[in-house]
Amino acid sequence: LDLSSRRSGGTADVSRSPNDASRRQFLSQWLLSTVSLGSSFIPQSACAQDETSLQPYVKRADKFGYTFQPPLNFDAGNKPLKTHLDEINFKSLQQSGYQFGITVDPVRITSLQQFGTPEEVAAKVVLAEVNRDGVFDVTLMQDPQQGDFSLGGGGGGQYNYYQLNYLSQGKRGDKRFVTKFYIQNQFLYALT
């Protein structure tokens, strides 16, 4: 599946960094762990604690909540301009540009399938990204993925997730995104 979109010509040679594998592992384990109202999503690989790790980040609101255990040597911070109902970023203290972001937004739909197939959603994301100011080219690095997971910790239920892996090239350089998202109780949860 080739869903590249360009404003102006040119392509880039994308080489994988050693952190791509650990980031993919982390994202994979994130959805296999628990995320829900009153439950947590702490990947097994991030459960080991030592003096350099952050405490779990816990967010509880009236209608949604989650717990996130950031990797070692990541610092929590907010974007200067809030664009989601809830959002938090965790930036690496060791590697510039390496970060995780969690967003939560209310939606009218109850499942990702109501928004489209993984390929349709990927096309919408690519189009939205390439229309952002300063972005010249957006290329899907991998076919969109779809999977199911169950929530533990009393959250119950079977949920469907989509995963997108794309490169955005623009005035501010190249940015690689790997995003997993799902809908629960009409809230869209995304981990990027």
Over the range 124-150, which residues count as b (16 or more CB within 10 Å of their CB) and which as e?
Answer: ebbeebbeeeebbbbbbeeebeeeebe
Greater model confidence, 25 or 78: 78
Query: Per the confidence metrics, is the pTM higher than 0.85?
Result: no
Above 60 in pLDDT, residue 154? no
Residues 6+ apart with CB under 8 A from 112: 121, 160, 161, 162, 181, 182, 183
Residue-level pLDDT at 81: 83
Mean pLDDT (the chain) is 77
